[in-house]
């Protein structure tokens, strides 16, 4: 099952009654996820006007949940509870994180968004935690690591409110506690938690070695040194534990940097 369908089946289908959904008669292609209707979880879509091309386009029901405004389920986006101006939308929750597992949902929001979401008559999410930025990702990772195996696979989005089309097309499942996939409109961040734990152990037990290794990795990621540069090779030869950890790092420099951020 596609990740956006999984989110629909577990959470966002509750808003279906408020949407102007139409049944698929002839095969459609969702303007958001680009999937043909035969691959959708439900054969329903909503016609929306694209503000750039100014034409009606079909959005499958699961993707449409990102565009749908609901005072009842998502509170307010602008205004106050007494004088609401615009309803809340999932696709506007910039900086908010979302975890959807097999039986649980958790939204991570800064105080401003949390207050607006709590104005909903029937909140879409069973749990809303106030957290943002790096603290939100740390909280999400620790929460996921405490879940039982029966809750996997799950979907973890660390920023749900940016570029809805790009977000949907970048979604991936987190398969287990050992490999957490943090999704956003950018390429997913893949966190090997066993490697992160081992790097944290080195950072705790031998801070000097960790500091040197970290700086060398950063220099390598930014192209300031090459893998065969003498200082790097001498350091790794003299520190076998650091060498073993370096060999387990991902090839992609962006993934390397994300791992380092998760350690420190």
Q: Is 156 helix (H, G, I), strand (E, B) or coil?
A: strand
- 110 with 197, same domain: the answer is no
Q: What is the pLDDT of residue 53?
A: 64
- 106 with 140, same domain: the answer is yes
- 202 with 251, same domain: the answer is yes
The pair of three-digit structure tokens given for residue 56, joined into one six-digit string: 């009606």
Q: What is the pLDDT of residue 9?
A: 97
Specify the higher pLDDT residue, 38 or 262.
38
- 83 with 170, same domain: the answer is yes
| CA distance from start to end of the chain | 35
250-264: average pLDDT: 85
Kind of pairing between the strands at 155-157 and 97-100: antiparallel
- 161 with 89, same domain: the answer is yes
Q: 4-9 long-range CB contacts below 8 Å, 24 or more apart?
A: 4/33, 4/62, 4/63, 4/168, 4/171, 5/40, 5/41, 5/62, 6/100, 6/155, 6/173, 7/62, 7/65, 7/98, 7/100, 7/155, 8/41, 8/42, 8/61, 8/62, 8/65, 9/41
Q: Which domain holds residue 9?
A: 3-67
Supply the pTM of this predicted model. Answer: 0.87
Burial class (CB in 10 A: 0-12, 13-18, 19+), 17: exposed
Specify the higher pLDDT residue, 210 or 52.
210
Q: Is the pLDDT of residue 262 over 70?
A: yes
- Alpha helices by DSSP H, listed for the chain, are 3-10, 61-67, 71-74, 111-117, 133-145, 164-170, 193-205, 207-221, 230-238, 240-247, 253-263
Span 47-96, pLDDT tens digits: 988 766 678 899 999 999 999 999 999 998 887 777 778 899 999 888 89
Q: What is the pLDDT of residue 172?
A: 97
* Cα–chain center distance at 6: 14
Point out the least confidently predicted range of 30-44, 80-94, 96-110. Answer: 80-94
Span 151-199, pLDDT tens digits: 999 999 999 987 899 999 999 999 999 999 999 998 898 999 999 999 9
- 141 with 207, same domain: the answer is no
114-133: average pLDDT: 87
- 103 with 179, same domain: the answer is yes
The pair of three-digit structure tokens given for residue 25, joined into one six-digit string: 């008669």
Counting the structural domains of the chain, the total is: 3
- Last residue within a domain, chosen from 176, 191, 206: 191
* 111 confidence band (pLDDT: 50, 70, 90): confident
Span 211-250, pLDDT tens digits: 999 998 998 888 888 878 888 888 888 999 999 998 999 8
- 174 with 137, same domain: the answer is yes
- 179 with 101, same domain: the answer is yes
> How far is Cα 24 from Cα 28, in angstroms, rounded to an integer?
7
- Last residue within a domain, chosen from 50, 67, 84: 67
> How far is Cα 90 from Cα 92, in angstroms, rounded to an integer?
5
Q: What is the pLDDT of residue 255?
A: 86
- 103 with 139, same domain: the answer is yes
- 23 with 108, same domain: the answer is no
- 100 with 165, same domain: the answer is yes
The greatest distance separating any two alpha carbons of the chain, rounded to the nearest whole angstrom, comes to 68
- Last residue within a domain, chosen from 153, 174, 191: 191
**Residue 45 β-bridge partners:** 22, 60
Q: Is the pLDDT of residue 114 over 90?
A: no
């Amino acid at each position: 099952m596609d990740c956006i369908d999984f989110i629909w089946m577990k959470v966002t289908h509750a808003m279906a009654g408020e949407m102007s959904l139409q049944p698929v008669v002839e095969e459609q292609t969702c303007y958001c996820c680009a999937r043909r209707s035969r691959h959708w979880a439900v054969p329903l879509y909503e016609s929306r006007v694209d503000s750039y091309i100014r034409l009606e386009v079909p959005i499958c029901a699961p993707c449409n949940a990102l565009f749908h405004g609901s005072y009842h389920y998502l509170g307010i986006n602008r205004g106050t509870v007494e004088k609401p101006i615009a309803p809340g939308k999932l696709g506007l929750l910039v900086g908010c994180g979302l975890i959807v597992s097999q039986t649980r949902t958790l939204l991570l929001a800064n105080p401003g968004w949390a207050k607006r979401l709590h104005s909903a008559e029937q909140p879409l999410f069973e749990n809303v935690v106030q957290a943002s930025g790096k603290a939100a990702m740390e909280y999400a990772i620790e929460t996921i690591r405490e879940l039982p195996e029966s809750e996997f696979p799950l979907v973890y989005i660390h920023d749900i409110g940016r570029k809805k089309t790009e977000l949907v097309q970048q979604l991936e499942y987190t398969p287990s506690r050992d490999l957490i996939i943090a999704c956003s409109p950018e390429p997913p961040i893949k966190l090997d938690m066993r490697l992160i734990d081992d790097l944290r152990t080195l950072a705790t037990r031998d801070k000097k070695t960790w500091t040197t290794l970290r700086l060398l990795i950063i220099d390598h990621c930014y192209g300031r040194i090459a893998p065969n540069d003498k200082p790097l090779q001498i350091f790794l030869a003299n520190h076998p534990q650091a060498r073993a950890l370096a060999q387990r790092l991902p090839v992609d420099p962006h993934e390397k940097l994300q791992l380092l951020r998760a350690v420190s």
